[in-house]
Amino acid sequence: MKKIIETENLRTNFYTYEGVVKALNDVCITVNHGETFGLVGESGCGKSVTVRSMMRIIQSPGKVESGKVLLFLDENGEQEAVDLLQQSESYMQSCCGDQISMIFQEPNAALNPIMSIGEQVAESFLFHRKKSLSEASLERLNAQDCKVPFKGIFKNLYKKYHEDENAFVFKLLSHIPLLNRWDFLIRQEAFKRAVEIISKLGIPHAEDIAVQFPHNLSGGMKQRIVIAIALACSPMLLIADEATSNLDVTIQAQILELLKDLKKKHISSILLITHDLGVVAETCDRVGVMYAGSLCEVAESRELFGNPSHPYTKALLESVPKFHQEGALKTIEGNVPNLVTPPAGCRFHPRCKHRMDICDKEVPNLLEIGKNHSVACHLFGDK
Ligand code: SF4
């Protein structure tokens, strides 16, 4: 199966006054073409730090110390791997939104309260698709019924823009407010595309919604708009970081259904970050389970839920309340470790019922124990 993105031994630390928090410990995950990969674990286990490290949006005092994040691009039928950690800021800016998009838990934080919904979705097109917008604007100007004043001047500008978007004249025009209006057709075209994508996401009356502001919309609707922004340029990978956690269950089900549907039609793969095992079982093809900054088990969804093998995965699944459960809920004894001084060897060993002598001495490697099923536990290696 073709890979879309892969992390190799990703290691991220946070330099705090209390000491160095070892948040990620050699995390290796792969997302393949056409699949939904779920990254699951309790809060604070490093799921979000993993995707933020991948996208290089870890903020100070955090730092990605080592590892690789390989993005696989199709070049003339061949797959070429680009290490995102080695690319320039401008490469990352053009990659985010175009090749990879992210949606977060809190739509209010992602939307600008003083910009209309349509303008915010259109921004994505204006940033990544300006050439195709200028092409469409030129076609519009060439149409017989187009009545734009100074049509000839605009035609020349759009033609020139199409040839060289970095030409001096455009830099000059963008700095002179009165002449800055040259690209109004481009903005109109971007707005038109924004309305189209809003309507594709099943939002009724897309044209009316596009002129509204975020405070006019409900939480579920805002999250749909955030998805519209993320999908505007048809990225190959959508990263959804706890994207449904703040929504009530009915809206959550609608958004998950929408993501499933979008994966079929518009995007290749989804990397879903969640602490909700129900969401994983519903949505994901493969799952990675994280504990204290380490990946402990990776398997196909069906296999993981039917045959969990790592003691932490088993304990996690046992702690999910059952429909006919009687008596006290099961919990995992002990506490999550302080990652300033993480336990030596297997980070789960202080809480593990199957602990052996080797467990606090050596870090277990992720070993394949079955088809598409890997576990990092000394129970499965040569002890
Ligand atoms: Fe438990 Fe040892 Fe396996 Fe860690 S490596 S999960 S401590 S048995």
Same domain, yes or no: 130 and 73: no
Ligand 1 center–CA 376 separation, angstroms:
8
Predicted confidence (pLDDT) per residue in 271-298, tens digit: 999 888 888 888 899 999 999 999 999 9
Tell how many helices (H) and how many strands (E) occur in the chain. 14, 13
The answer as to whether 227 is a domain residue is no
Same domain, yes or no: 105 and 139: no
Label the pairing between strands 367-370 and 100-103: unpaired
Tell me the best of 378, 380, 382, 383 to mutate to test the pocket of ligand 1, counting ligand atoms within 8 Å of each CB and taking the most. 378
Give the range of the structural domain holding residue 328, as residue numbers without chain letter: 290-380
Give nearest CA residue, ligand 1 atom 7: 349
Label the pairing between strands 30-32 and 100-103: unpaired
Same domain, yes or no: 11 and 101: yes
- Domain containing residue 44: CATH number: 3.40.50.300
The answer as to whether 198 is a domain residue is no
Q: Categorise residue 197: left if φ over 0, alpha if ψ from -120 to 50, beta otherwise.
A: alpha
Tell me the best of 359, 360, 367, 382 to mutate to test the pocket of ligand 1, counting ligand atoms within 8 Å of each CB and taking the most. 359
Domain boundary pick from 246, 264, 284: 284
Tell me the best of 348, 365, 367 to mutate to test the pocket of ligand 1, counting ligand atoms within 8 Å of each CB and taking the most. 348
Enclosing H/E stretch for 14: strand 3-16
The answer as to whether 212 is a domain residue is no
The answer as to whether 226 is a domain residue is no
The answer as to whether 312 is a domain residue is yes
Residue 73: pLDDT above 70? yes
- Whether omega for the bond prior to residue 364 falls within 30 degrees of 0, making it cis, is no
Rounded (10°) CA dihedral 47, 40, 220, 121: 40
Tell me the best of 289, 314, 352, 358 to mutate to test the pocket of ligand 1, counting ligand atoms within 8 Å of each CB and taking the most. 352
Residue 68: pLDDT above 70? yes
206-to-44, 197, 203, 209 alpha-carbon distances in Å: 38, 9, 6, 5
Ligand 1 center–CA 360 separation, angstroms:
9
Nearest Cα to Cα of residue 309 among 317, 293, 9, 333: 317
Domain tally, the chain: 3
pLDDT-derived band at 145, boundaries 50, 70, 90: low
Residues with Cβ within 8 Å of residue 107, at least 6 apart in sequence = 214, 219, 222, 223, 225, 226
pTM: predicted TM-score of the whole model, two decimal places? 0.85
Amino acid at 301: S
The share of the chain scoring above pLDDT 90, in percent, equals 42
Residues near ligand 1 with C-beta < 6 Å? 311, 346, 348-349, 352, 354-356, 359, 364, 377-379
Same domain, yes or no: 22 and 106: yes
Predicted confidence (pLDDT) per residue in 165-201, tens digit: 677 766 666 666 655 566 777 888 888 888 988 888 7
Residue 53: pLDDT above 60? yes
Per-residue pLDDT at 7: 95
Ligand 1 atom closest to Cα of 358? 2
Nearest Cα to Cα of residue 338 among 19, 47, 42, 28: 19
The answer as to whether 31 is a domain residue is yes
The answer as to whether 221 is a domain residue is no
Backbone angles phi, psi at 105, to 5 degrees: -65, -40
Same domain, yes or no: 93 and 150: no
Q: Bridge-partner residues for 279, per DSSP?
A: none
Same domain, yes or no: 52 and 8: yes
pLDDT-derived band at 322, boundaries 50, 70, 90: confident
Same domain, yes or no: 20 and 107: yes
Per-residue pLDDT at 150: 66
Same domain, yes or no: 122 and 61: no
Ligand 1 atom closest to Cα of 380? 3
Same domain, yes or no: 82 and 144: no
Same domain, yes or no: 121 and 64: no
Same domain, yes or no: 325 and 249: no
Residue 10: pLDDT above 70? yes
Ligand 1 center–CA 38 separation, angstroms:
23
Same domain, yes or no: 134 and 103: no
Predicted confidence (pLDDT) per residue in 302-316, tens digit: 999 999 999 999 999
The answer as to whether 89 is a domain residue is yes
Distance CA 59, CA 14 (A): 9
Residue in the block written with tokens 């079929």:
264
